[in-house]
Amino acid sequence: MKILMILQDILSTPAILVGLMALLGLCLQKKPATDVVKGTIKTIVGFLVLSAGADFVQSGSLTDFGVIFNYAFGVNGVVPNNEAIVTTALTQYAQDTAWIMMFGMVANIVLARFSRMPYIFLTGHHTLYMAAMIAIVLTVGGLSGVSLIIGGSLILGLTMVIFPAICQPTMNKLTGIDEIGFGHFSSIGYWVAAQVGKIVGGKALESGKGKSTEDINFPKWMSFMRDTTVAISVTMVVIFLVVCGVASTKADWQTALAGTGMVGGATWITYALQAGMRFAGAIYIILSGVRMILAEIVPAFKGIADKLVPGAKPAIDCPVVFPYAPNAVLIGFLVSFVGGIVGMFILLGINPSFQNTLPIILPGVVPHFFCGATSGVFANTHGGLKGCVVGSFIHGLLITFLPVFTMPVMGNLGFASTTFSDADFCGVGIVMGNIAKIVSGTPLLIVCVVLFAAPIVYNFVAPKKNK
């Protein structure tokens, strides 16, 4: 168990996992020792910089913002949060999750080698979260022990190639190359946002009549807004001022918000100014980390592609797309969050018709930032500014309603005060959970094996297109 826990810790740490991939790739290319050391270290440091930015934006701004917003506007309900639900799940499924994660990564390599989806999923923490989700659902479906580990590993490996494959056309269009995959388990939401963006603004963008979010022309007196860091700072400061201002009108706000940074400083205005700019600083750190990773991981990955998995592509976490459309990042976050608020009110409105049995999903700031921002970039790629706005809004609705249908398939955990937030966790949970209601035990394991084998069989049977 100690060895297993060490392996789980390594495989769930993105910086170390990607560093090992870079090390392997450079060694397979027989690079000089100095290049191997430099490339490995810079890859790990790049991921640490990215993670530091993500932690900074979450702990320094987003967590407080969610608490203050809910208090200011008096909302209560279920807050989707991957970390919270996984922590709850691991109290019961820690050992099964660890085994599923470890063998799921092996299954990922097998599928990347023998199917037409050559993606190596490198977002370690999301691999852990998906392993936990699958362990829960398959256990509810009657699998346990070795059969649970086998079935769960096969389904995990399948998700690690299918979802990057869904996003790859947009990644190619966005980056202009076919060397980087996308590894973040909210791909269903990003794909939907991209398709909506294409429908809404695709023709206009292709004809030159539409414009990208990055082509926004600010008035001369607002020329400072062309700087991404400044634009994000100004926007977030205004938002924090409004939300904190509403919260401060309540008599007991200092007691109710004692755990946030809003209480303890000179005034709530000072806090709002700092929090908004802290958010912009975190984004700057994230973008720096992404640039550092890409400069090292893509060349290093060539060794893996050439030796182990021909044509393999590293599937990297969602901030990898942020530098390509910084304005879309901000617009996507804000509009997705608005979509979450609208979705919450829709649930409040229709709940009486369901005898108040529907969970009320509150807009979680963390998923709406990371997933909403990414959906904005995807939608902008295909539909420009108009597509970004509409696509991000639809994404906000999607990650509000999908958790409603996910909670019933999660057994006792379905009654927790939180649930999975990102679209792919919900999608896999809904599909596998409903399959588990139809077939359970050994037949469910057979379904897992068939689903895993299908892409491999297709690769060898179906005719390949000439490039």
Structure tokens belonging to residue 247: 């919260």
**318-343 confidence digits (pLDDT tens):** 888 998 998 899 899 989 999 999 99
The Cα-based distances of 302 to 96, 113, 241, 313, 371 in angstroms read: 33, 14, 48, 9, 29
* Burial classification of residue 266, based on how many CB atoms lie within 10 Å of its CB (0-12 exposed, 13-18 middle, 19 or more buried): exposed
pLDDT value for 302: 67
In this structure, what DSSP letter does residue 249 have? T
**b or e along 121-132 (b: 16 or more beta carbons within 10 Å of the residue's beta carbon)?**
bbbbbbbbbbbb
pLDDT at 181: 93
Q: Give Cα separations from 192 to 183, 369, 419, 430 (angstroms).
A: 16, 17, 21, 17
Q: What is the mean pLDDT of the chain?
A: 85
pLDDT at 128: 80
pLDDT at residue 74 in the model: 78
pLDDT at site 352? 84
Alpha helices in 308-415 (DSSP H): 326-350, 365-406
Tell whether the model's pLDDT for residue 225 goes beyond 70: no
CA 78 to chain centre: 19
Q: What is the pLDDT of residues 2-61, one digit of tens each?
A: 777 777 677 667 678 778 878 888 888 888 999 889 988 988 888 788 778 777 766 767
The DSSP 8-state label assigned to residue 321 in this structure reads G
Mean pLDDT of all residues in 225-235: 73
Can you tell me which residue has the tokens 């607002």? 222
17 token code pair: 């996992």
Range scoring the smallest mean pLDDT among 270-279, 295-304, 394-403: 295-304
Band the pLDDT of 408: cuts 50, 70, 90: confident
Closest-CA residue to 256 (of 61, 76, 57, 80): 76
Query: In Å, how far are 133, 307, 316, 437 from 26, measured between CA atoms?
Result: 34, 11, 18, 46
Average pLDDT value for residue range 262-278: 86
**Residue 355: C-alpha distances to residues 53, 347, 348, 350, 409 (Å):** 43, 12, 12, 9, 20
Q: Which residue has the tokens 């309540």?
A: 250
Least confidently predicted of 52-56, 166-170, 273-277, 310-314 = 52-56
**b/e code 419-432 from CB counts within 10 Å (16+ = b):** bbbbbbbbbbbbeb
Strand order of the β-sheet with 119-121 is: 119-121, 313-316, 181-182
pLDDT over 80 at 222, yes or no:
no
Can you give the pLDDT at residue 339?
95
Q: Which residues are CB-neighbours of 143 under 8 A, at least 6 positions away?
A: 151, 152, 440, 441, 444, 445
CB 153 within 8 A of CB 104: yes
Q: Quickly list H helices, 253-364.
A: 253-256, 268-307, 326-350
Task: Report strand pairing: 181-182 vs 119-121.
Answer: unpaired
State the pLDDT at residue 14.
64
Both tokens of 38, joined, read 């430099």
User: What sections of 248-267 are H helices per DSSP?
Assistant: 253-256
Residue 301: what pLDDT? 67
Q: For a pLDDT cut of 70, what percent of the chain falls above it?
A: 91
Question: How far is CA 310 from each of CA 115, 177, 300, 301, 466, rounded to the nearest angstrom?
Answer: 11, 17, 14, 11, 17
> Which of 221-230, 294-303, 458-467 holds the top average pLDDT?
458-467
Query: What phi, psi does 219 have (nearest 5°)?
Result: -55, 160
Q: What is the pLDDT of residues 177-207, one digit of tens each?
A: 888 899 999 999 999 999 999 999 888 888 8
Token pair of 315 as six digits: 């599937």
Specify which of 6-15, 32-41, 284-293, 448-457 reaches the highest per-range mean pLDDT: 448-457
Rg (CA), the chain: 22
Structure token pair of residue 324 = 């390509």
Polymer length of the chain: 467
What backbone phi and psi angles, to 5 degrees, belong to 141? Answer: -80, 5
Tokens coding 279: 């958010």
What CA–CA distance (Å, rounded) separates 171 from 180? 7
Q: Which residues pair with 78 in a beta bridge?
A: 361
**Band of residue 379 on the pLDDT scale cut at 50, 70, 90:** very high
Domain boundaries, the chain: 2-461
Range among 153-157, 261-265, 341-345 rated most confident: 153-157
